[in-house]
């Protein structure tokens, strides 16, 4: 059995750490929310502003997940895997890039017209060198994700895996990341599909607790 040590969520313009809303911004654009959430984490990483929305969302959720889990301190880079999924691949950026080709195609956007670029950004930021993959499902699929992560962790070398869902299309965004370890730390939750579905479906109010 493997164990869910920690999870993060981004939904309805709320940034959630282990079930607690730590930042929210209802007004403005998605860009306003992303910039505000990034500023709230006090992270020095100028490249964030050059990323597309998919990578920015993945970055924020991973930053929240990693800062309390100490996963980088516990494991070597080769012992950490990264498995992500979504429903729209890189379509959000593809549309913006296609629009740019009407005048002058943007090389900066072209870089992000592959779904797995977000995994690359996270691996660079956090020094992850273990197995990584990105799957496209019609919707969040807790069973397929759980089964694949269990298979990855069955490898003796892999000791931890960050997995989940990072999806965006227009202003609609949906992110759920979690860390799985072989060791049970602080009464962690068992890594089961039913548990993942339950965490994914949790509803949240605003930062000050209002629903």
The separation between CA 64 and the C-alpha centre of its own chain, rounded to angstroms, equals 10
The pTM for the full model equals: 0.94
Rounded Cα distance, 164 and 132, in Å = 12
Three-state secondary structure call for residue 91:
helix
Looking at residues 98-111, what average pLDDT do you find? 86
Q: State pLDDT tens for residues 151-210.
A: 999 999 999 999 999 999 999 999 999 999 999 988 899 999 999 999 999 999 766 544
């Amino acid at each position: 059995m493997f164990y869910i040590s920690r999870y993060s969520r981004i939904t309805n313009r709320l940034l959630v750490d282990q079930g607690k809303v730590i930042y929210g911004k209802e007004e403005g654009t998605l860009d306003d929310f992303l910039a505000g959430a990034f500023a709230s984490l006090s992270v020095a990483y100028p490249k964030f502003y050059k990323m597309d929305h998919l990578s920015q969302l993945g970055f924020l959720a991973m930053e929240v997940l990693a800062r309390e889990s100490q996963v980088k301190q516990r494991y070597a880079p080769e012992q950490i895997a990264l498995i992500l999924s979504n429903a729209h691949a890189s379509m959000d950026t593809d549309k913006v890039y296609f629009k740019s080709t009407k005048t002058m195609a943007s090389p900066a956007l072209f870089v992000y017209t592959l779904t797995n670029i977000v995994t690359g950004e996270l691996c660079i930021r956090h020094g992850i060198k273990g197995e990584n993959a990105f799957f496209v499902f019609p919707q969040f699929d807790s069973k397929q994700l759980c089964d694949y992560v269990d298979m990855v962790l069955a490898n003796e070398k892999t000791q931890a895996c960050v997995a989940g869902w990072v999806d965006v299309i227009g202003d609609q965004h949906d992110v759920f990341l979690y860390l799985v370890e072989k060791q049970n730390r602080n009464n962690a939750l068992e890594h089961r599909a039913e548990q993942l579905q339950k965490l994914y479906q949790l509803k949240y109010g605003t930062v000050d607790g209002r629903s």
